[in-house]
Structure 1
Amino acid sequence: MILKAFKEKSNQKYINKLLSERTASVHNKKINSIGVILHLNEFSDFEAIRNYFKSLGLIANRIKIIGFAEEEKDLGYQWETYVNSKDFGWKGKINNVELQTFIDTEFDALISFYKQSSLELNLITAQSKANFKVGLSNKDQRLYDLIINVSPDEFNLFKNELKKYLTVLNKL
């Protein structure tokens, strides 16, 4: 239990370091690739998200979705990539090759579709090389370029708001 607390503190320090070095340099190009981070306890309709982004004109192979579950037993096998807390080490180290690939991919946009603050999900968002980051949670506003303050179960409202803001920002 004590080691877990030290590990969390170590990872939080790493997140703070990444966010203090982050520069907001959002490009004005259209969104062609997108990454989505889901917390499986809050939202688990993988196909609804994929279909929404297809309806916006994105090609299916340019949409990458990962799901996070607190416990390994909660993981489903329908996800492209799914992770749990065992995939994270000390000082921001990632112990999952697929997750590291997701983080290193330079998406045009990253959607952090979770409201519940989670150190692991914040670590993925902070480390991501995505150009434009959108989130639901405003617990740490430094993580995102755009925050849409809706609950994950209000997916239709989220879809409308995201489309509206991306259109205003000339991203679609």
Structure 2
Amino acid sequence: MILKGFKEKSNKKHLNKLLSQRIMPVGNSRVESLGVILNSDELDDFELFRTLANLINVRPNKLKIIAFSANKKEQLSNWDACYNPKDFGWNGKIKNTELQTFLNTKFDALISYYANEDLELKLLTAKSEAQFKIGILQTDVRLNDLIINTSIKEFNVFKAEVHKYLTILNKIKNEQ
């Protein structure tokens, strides 16, 4: 029990270090690849993100979705890639090679779609090599470059806002 507290404190310290060292990318690169991090305890529908990717002109083979669950169930039927707190070590170390591969992928955009303040989810967002990070309003605004202030249940509003702002920022080509 004491070790769990020390582990959490070391991960928080690592998260703060990552966020303080983050350099905001400047550029006009278009969004052609998309990564999604979501909390499967809050939302369990992959298809929502496939429609969002289609809306912003991301091909299906350039979309990668991972889910996190605070529950330690190993069998979550709908998820190809679902991770839990066992996949995280001390000082922000990732124990799972598939998860580390996702984080090392240089996505053009990353969507962090979760409302819970789980340390592991924040670590995933901070450790991602994505160029442009999009998320729902969190207590720590350093996590994302574009913050959409919606509820987790208002996905259609989130989708419309992401499309609108990516068009304004010239990250996608508006093909209507």
Quickly name the TM-score band, shorter chain normalised. Answer: over 0.9
Distance 2:48 2:96 in 1: 26
How far off its partner does 1:44 sit? 1.0
Unaligned runs of 5+ in 1: none
1:92 matched to which residue of 2?
92
2:32 matched to which residue of 1?
32
Map Cα deviations across residues 18-66 of structure 1 (whole Å, 9 max, x no partner). Answer: 1111111232111000100000111111112112212332110100000
CA distance 1:9–1:160, shift in 2 (3 Å): same
Give the fraction of aligned pairs with identical amino acids, expressed as a percent.
Answer: 53
CA distance 1:90–1:129, shift in 2 (3 Å): same
TM-score for both structures, normalised by structure 1: 0.96
- Decide whether the 8 Å contact of 2:55 with 2:163 is kept in 1: no
1:161 matched to which residue of 2?
161
Map Cα deviations across residues 131-171 of structure 1 (whole Å, 9 max, x no partner). Answer: 00011032111111111011111001101111111110011
- Decide whether the 8 Å contact of 2:38 with 2:114 is kept in 1: yes
Q: 1:65-76 to 2 correspondence within 5 Å?
A: 65-73=65-73, 76=76
Unaligned runs of 5+ in 2: none
2:146 matched to which residue of 1?
146
How far off its partner does 1:79 sit? 2.1
State the one-letter code of the partner of 1:47.
E
Larger proportion of helix: 1
State the one-letter code of the partner of 2:113.
F
How far off its partner does 1:116 sit? 1.1
